[in-house]
Copies of this chain bind each other. A is one copy, B any other.
């Protein structure tokens, strides 16, 4: 029956992470594979209170159909926050509520990408974006990112060599690597973009979660007419509501609203109302500060454990925010090989492969620190250090031999 399917769906990579996460469900495994916020920080009581207030004050209203653009008060809140935090003017009419940022990416693919259209993707880049654009039979042009930002020479090559329709960028604490674009890097990118017809997608789910360094200017500020901005409540309130948003100028917004309506009529309205009520009745800045402090501390623990237990030749990023850290292994040691061994020793991560559009058996991997407590981070990193030393044929301190793991010293 295979031939009845569309060509597009055959091109979408099956989610590697789904399979990996299934493995990591084993409760005895220490998992750095997730991409989830720390559940202990969810404002449970406050969201419950917001929900009760809504039922008491407008029970029927919050259960009915609503508009495709999203709840007006919530869009006004988002608009006001852009003004307050970044001094950007974003009228509520230019904000569309989406079913999570992931849907924003799907709507952009729907609205912009014809089969074979050229799209610049960060390398490594967000798996969900690769999947979303793959559906529309995109031709990807990967451009490397490192701790300074995107490789502007390679970006320029792509922009001048092809008619690049979209450039997907996550300039703040990118998933998977945790890296951010420097201010200078952003300015260079903006100069390159000015000469093109390319639309820049600024995906920013982690922007509020900076625990060191200083905020850098948004692309939406540098390139207002060529930037579509994505945001999300998943990391600052809670992900289960699947509520994100998309900022675009009028002409783009009109097309996106059509795509949105055809996709799911509107984002769940009950959740939009609950999130708004929560934001209205609580000090979101104080809540975000709590998350920042926790993730900052978890990140520090992971970095210091890596310093202590990983072989010296292994490189790692030092994120200033967000939830992820990126490991580069010595050449010739595929992360998948480490993964298989690590699983035997009850520690998991995501091998880098799914974050590349056209590479396999890469020597990079992603570690998540947001959803693991610090004691467990120390235990897990030590265990992973033992695995790495063993695979690299290095001497292992007795304390680093994971007791759970029965390999012999070489």
Question: Which A residues lie at the B interface, using CB under 8 A?
Answer: 1-2, 4-9, 12, 14-15, 18, 35-37, 39-40, 42, 44-45, 47-48, 51-52, 55, 59-66, 68, 98-100, 102-103, 106, 110-115, 117, 128, 131-132, 134-136, 165, 197, 199, 234, 238-243, 251, 255, 258-259, 261-271, 273-274
Contact = CB atoms under 8 A, between A and B. Distances in A.
A146 B60 CA distance: 35
A37 B63 CA distance: 10
Contact of A99 (B14, B47, B99, B251): B99
13 contacts: A4-B165, A6-B110, A9-B111, A15-B258, A39-B63, A64-B238, A98-B264, A100-B265, A128-B262, A131-B258, A240-B268, A240-B273, A242-B267
A262 B134 contact: yes
Contacts of A37: 64
B271 A268 contact: yes
Given A197-B4, A259-B135, A62 B128 contact: no
Nearest to A61: B39
A68 B9 contact: no
Nearest to A41: B60
Contacts of A241: 63, 268, 270-271
B12 A262 contact: yes
A18 B51 CA distance: 29
B128 A110 contact: no
A48 B266 CA distance: 22
A234 to B, nearest CB: 8
A357 to B, nearest CB: 14
Nearest to A66: B240
Contacts of A270: 238, 240-241, 271, 274
A224 to B, nearest CB: 13
Nearest to A40: B60
Contact of A268 (B63, B106, B268): B268
B100 A264 contact: yes
B251 A265 contact: no
A31 B117 CA distance: 44
A57 to B, nearest CB: 11
B5 A112 contact: yes
* Copies, count: 2
Contacts of A239: 63-65
A259 B109 CA distance: 13
A14 B258 contact: yes
A39 B102 CA distance: 31
B68 A47 contact: no
Nearest to A131: B262
A409 B30 CA distance: 81
Contacts of A61: 39
A110 B9 contact: yes
A260 B195 CA distance: 36
Contact of A6 (B1, B132, B136, B269): B136
B258 A63 contact: no
A44 B36 contact: no
A128 B99 CA distance: 18
A181 B96 CA distance: 39
A-B pairs, top 10 by smallest CB distance, nearest first, are A44-B59, A63-B238, A240-B269, A48-B55, A131-B262, A242-B268, A103-B264, A99-B264, A240-B270, A42-B63
B266 A242 contact: yes
B100 A68 contact: no
A187 to B, nearest CB: 24
Given A110-B6, A262-B106, A64 B39 contact: yes
B12 A259 contact: yes
Nearest to A243: B268
Contact of A60 (B42, B98, B255, B273): B42
A112 B262 contact: no
Contacts of A35: 65
